[in-house]
Amino acid sequence: MSTTTEERVTRGESAYGAGRSIVGFLVPILIAFVMLLVIWVVFLNAFPQVGPRVGKTPADVWEYLFTGSRSAEARSSVFGNLRITLRDAGVGFVVGMGGALIIAAVFVLFRSVEQTFMPVAMLLRSVPLVALTPIIVLIFGRGIVGVTAMVAIVVFFPALVMIMVGLRQAPRQAQDLIAAYGGNSWTAMRMVAVPSALPSVFAAARISVPGALIGALIGEWLGSGRGLGSSMIKSIPKYQYNELWSSIVVITVVSIVLYAVVGVFEKIALARFGPNAGKT
């Protein structure tokens, strides 16, 4: 009976610790969001030469999307393009993160493979994505496959480095224990290295979410011709600055929200499975 009570107390403490950690993570994000709004207004006031025709205020964006006479049409256009961008970014994010996890595990297990291919990967990473876009479009086409390739490239390289660092920080004693009981290197990777690398995996995911959206916007602008990346570029020569600013605001808010969602999942997962699981 006492064991059951202790388990409940431990779970309660763990949940409380996770909740407190989540609040501590979200509060700075909310503060940063408010600061963005303040900087936006201050910028427009500091540079009056931008003019109300080009520079739109938060009130202008709100009216365009929600209270104006053509708000329904505006929302349909902006959020319709947003769905395409989120689809492109989501598929590329999954491909990039999955590839980074697999390649990082292979590099950690086989140093010779890392020494052979890591310099090539870093060389490719140094090439601007805009310069690679024509080649990517030529190989994969202008559809979702081409955009997915561009997003995956943006996500893959930073995630690869961070996950490799996390995998190499696995406790040596635990890996030796696996080997003592007859486990191979893959078993040690699965049972020790991957769980211990969860903080690095989630950190890579948080960083990669905004990067995936940026990659999708670039891919849509230079490749597919669909989504917010394309619509924002097309709105400039048409002088549709309300749509341009509204699209920028929407993608920024979505990026912040997705970053926060990944962070919340990170806190919950680490509270349960991380190295300090069960501790407040």
Output the pLDDT for position 17: 55
| Among the listed residues 105, 163, 137, 154, the one whose alpha carbon sits nearest the alpha carbon of residue 222 | 137
Output the pLDDT for position 5: 55
pLDDT, one tens digit for every residue, the chain (280 residues): 444 555 554 454 455 555 676 777 778 788 888 898 899 999 988 888 888 888 899 999 999 999 888 899 999 999 999 999 999 999 999 999 999 999 999 998 888 888 888 888 888 777 787 788 888 888 888 888 889 999 999 999 889 989 998 888 888 888 788 888 887 888 888 888 888 888 889 889 988 999 999 999 988 888 778 889 999 999 988 889 999 999 999 999 999 889 888 888 888 877 776 555 545 4
Which two structure tokens, joined as six digits, stand for 3?
Answer: 């064991």
How far is Cα 22 from Cα 219, in angstroms, rounded to an integer? 33
Output the pLDDT for position 177: 83
Output the pLDDT for position 18: 57
| Domain edges within the chain | 2-273
Domain 2-273 belongs to what architecture?
Orthogonal Bundle (1.10)
Phi then psi dihedrals of residue 274, to 5 deg: -75, 180
| Among the listed residues 69, 40, 68, 71, the one whose alpha carbon sits nearest the alpha carbon of residue 56 | 40
How far is Cα 88 from Cα 104, in angstroms, rounded to an integer? 24
